[in-house]
Structure 1
C-alpha cells in the first residue's frame, strides 16, 4: 500500500487543529488508563498521604457525577477546543427556540465511533450553544464506568460530562426553574458497532427508558441528528452474525462498552491511523415535543410518546438530509 504523506507546507493553523484532535483521541482512548496507571504508581511509590487524601476525596465526592457534575467554564473555554471544532469542522444548527423555563431531554443520533459531534457541541463553548439557546445548560451523559477512573473523573466533570444513570438524568431534569438540557446518546455503545460511512441504522426501537424519565419529570423531548458523525472513521467489516460482530457484542455485554475496530488517517500521513478524517459535522437540533408530567406513566403512554419521538426524529432527518449531502433515496433505519 502506498502511503500518502502530508505536505510540509501545511499552514500552522491546520497543524494546531490536528494537534487538538490528537489530544482528544488520546484522551478518549488512553487517558483513563494513564490516570489509573498514575494512581497505581503513587501506591507503589508509597505516597500514602496523597493516596489517603484522594481516597477520602473520592469517598466524599463519589455521588457528584450523578448529581449534576462539576463543570468548569475555564476548561470548556480552552482555545484547544476551538481548534478541535475547526478541524472537521463542527457546526451546531438550531431549527427553533427552546424556552429556558423548561427542562429538555435531547436524544443525540447517531452514536458514531467517538461521539465527536456531541462532545464538540455540548462540552465546549466554541460552537455557539450558549448563544443559540440562551438560558440552557447542557449536560452530556456518558457511561458510569468513566467516573470510576481516578483523576480522569475530575477532568471529565470539568467538561460538563455526567453519569448516564437513571439517577443522574432524573437529577438534571428535576430543576424546578428549568434551564437544564440532558443530552443522551440514545443508541449507546451498541450503535457504535454500526458506525460505518453511509450507514443510517439507529438502535432505538427497544430503548424507551429515556421516554419514561421524560414523562416522570415533564421534560420536553428534543431529537438531535448529527450529520457526518458516521463518516469520520472506517471500521473493519462486522455485519450482524459475523464472528467479529459476535465477539464485539459479547464483550460489550460483559464490559458495558463496545470495541469497534476503526481506523482513518494518521498525524503526518493520510493512509492509516486513528485520527478521524476531516469531514464536516452538522448537528441539527430539532423542535421540542411538549411532555406533560406523569408520575406513573402507563406502558401505553410510553409507547405513544416513543412513537411521536420517532416520527419527529424521522421528520428532522428528512427535512435536512439534502442540505448535508445525504442522497434523497436514503432514510433512517430503526432497529
Structure 2
C-alpha cells in the first residue's frame, strides 16, 4: 500500500524536498543534460559559442587538478540551507585546526551518494568556514566528471576537485597551508554495501592517502558521518551473488559503482530515489601529526595506516551514543 504525503505539508518542508530533489538531479542527471546541451549547441547556429567553449576547456584543463575554482556565492546559496534541514545535517568540531597546515580529511562511510560530505564540505550551510577559519575544503571526485562540458564548471564552484594524484599533491604542497582535501576513503566499492545499519568500512587496501600524507607532511584527520548509510535501502547484493559480481565488474571497468538504491518519493513515502529524512552527524576528529617523508617505506605506511584507523575507531566509540547507537555496535574493517 502506498503511503502518500499529506496535503497540508508546511511550505518549509516542501522547499527542503525541492532542494534535495535538485541535488539528486545534479548528482544523477545533470552531467548527461550538460553534455546533451553542448552537443545541441555544437550543431546549431550557435556553433561558434561551442567552439569558443572548447578553446576555454583547453586553456582551463588543468584547473580541476590545481585547486579548482570555488565560488563562495554558490556555496552560500540559501538552497543548501533547505538541503541541510531536510535530513538535517550537523557538522561537529572536536578540536581547533591550525590554518597554517594542510590536511587530509578521511571521510567515512562513503554511503550511496556521500550526502554528508557534500553538505558539509561543498556548501557553507553547516558553517565549515566559521568552525575552521582559514581553511578551504576540497572534496575529491573522479577525474572523469571534470571532462563533461559545463558540468565541470558547476561542480568546481562548490569546491570539488579531481581525485588524481597530481590534484592531491597540489593541495597538500601549498607552503602557507590552509587546504583541506576531503577523501571518501572507502570509494565506490564501499557504496555497494551502504544500507541502514551497515558499519563495515573497506580500508585494508586503502593506503594511497596515507602515502600522500607522508610525502607532504599533511595532517591526517579522521571524519565519521553518522547516518550516512541510513539514507537509502539497497537491493540485496551479498558478496558472491550474481548482482554483486556484475556490479564489481562494471565498477572495475568504469570506475563508478552502480548501487541499486531506493528510498522514498517526492509525494509519497513508499518508493522512489529521494533519501529518507534521517539525521546526519558528521564528526571531525583530532589531527594526527605526520612528519614529511618524501620516500616513505612500506613499514612507515602500514604503521600510520594502523594509527589512523585506531583513531577513527576511537572517534566512532566516543560519539556513537550521541547518535543513538548501542554499546554493542562497533566498526568492522575489511
Corresponding position: 1:230 with 2:246: no
Corresponding position: 1:158 with 2:157: yes
* Separation of aligned partners in 2, 1:249 and 1:291: 34
Structure 1 spans left out of the alignment, 5+ residues: none
Q: CA deviation at 1:142?
A: 0.7
Q: CA deviation at 1:58?
A: 0.6
1:60 maps to 59
1:331 maps to 330
Say which SS state the counterpart of residue 24 (structure 1) adopts. Answer: helix
Corresponding position: 1:144 with 2:138: no
* 1:27-38 alignment, distance < 5 Å: 27-38=26-37
* Separation of aligned partners in 2, 1:131 and 1:315: 26
CA-atom RMSD in angstroms: 0.7
* Separation of aligned partners in 2, 1:12 and 1:158: 28
Name segments (4+ residues, structure 1) moved above 3 Å. Answer: none
Larger mean Cα displacement after TM superposition, 174-183 or 229-238: 174-183
2:24 maps to 25
Instruction: Say if 2:42 and 2:50, in contact at 8 Å, map to a contact too.
Output: yes
1:317 maps to 316
Say which SS state the counterpart of residue 29 (structure 2) adopts. Answer: helix
TM-score by length of 1: 0.99
* Separation of aligned partners in 1, 2:20 and 2:199: 25
1:260 maps to 259
* Separation of aligned partners in 1, 2:315 and 2:291: 22
* Separation of aligned partners in 2, 1:55 and 1:126: 33
TM-score by length of 2: 0.99
Corresponding position: 1:188 with 2:187: yes
Q: CA deviation at 1:46?
A: 4.9
- List per-residue Cα deviations over 1:24-82 (Å, max 9, x = no partner): 00000000000111111112325321121011001000110000000011100111000
- List per-residue Cα deviations over 1:245-292 (Å, max 9, x = no partner): 000000000011000000000011100000000000000000100000
Larger mean Cα displacement after TM superposition, 45-54 or 79-88: 45-54
* Separation of aligned partners in 2, 1:32 and 1:102: 34
Instruction: Say if 2:88 and 2:278, in contact at 8 Å, map to a contact too.
Output: yes
* 1:174-213 alignment, distance < 5 Å: 174-213=173-212
* Separation of aligned partners in 2, 1:63 and 1:326: 44
* 1:225-304 alignment, distance < 5 Å: 225-304=224-303
Q: CA deviation at 1:6?
A: 0.5
1:44 maps to 43
Larger mean Cα displacement after TM superposition, 318-327 or 211-220: 318-327
Say which SS state the counterpart of residue 223 (structure 2) adopts. Answer: strand
* Separation of aligned partners in 2, 1:207 and 1:16: 39
Instruction: Say if 2:42 and 2:51, in contact at 8 Å, map to a contact too.
Output: no
- List per-residue Cα deviations over 1:152-191 (Å, max 9, x = no partner): 0000001110001111011011111111111000000110
Say which SS state the counterpart of residue 253 (structure 1) adopts. Answer: helix
* Separation of aligned partners in 1, 2:188 and 2:80: 24
1:124 maps to 123
* Separation of aligned partners in 1, 2:123 and 2:303: 34
